[in-house]
Amino acid sequence: VDSRINTLLEEIRPDAVALVDAFGFRDAQLQSTLGRYDGKVYEAIYDRIKRNPLNRNNEKMVGWDEYKNILDLDFLKETAKVQRHMQSSQL
């Protein structure tokens, strides 16, 4: 049964987006950050993170005190230079 399910999933995968779109659900109804009609997945994820109660009132990311000792901060700073940046008014 599992192998047949996997075979069927492989067959419908190329048409998955069109099949879901055919139901006509709006983004607000789905409440999905990944399945967005406008394709702005990363912007949606970032927006959800900012609105999360754990992140609202803190100047620092929750858990930063623990993670800053583990993360490669030099690498993060270098890669941040080449990432696409948006104006705060666009977020």
Got the DSSP string for 22-36? HTT--HHHHT-SSS-
Give the pLDDT score at 13.
87
Cβ contacts of 82 within 8 Å, gap of 6 or more: none
Q: What angle do CA 37, 31, 86 make, to 5 degrees?
A: 60
Amino acid identity for residue 67 in this structure: Y
Give the pLDDT score at 8.
93
For the segment 67-83, what is each residue's pLDDT rounded down to a tens digit? 878 888 888 788 777 77
Q: What is the pLDDT along the chain (91 residues), one digit of tens a residue?
A: 889 999 999 999 888 878 888 888 887 888 887 777 777 888 888 888 888 877 766 567 767 788 878 888 888 788 777 776 555 454 4
Cβ contacts of 5 within 8 Å, gap of 6 or more: none
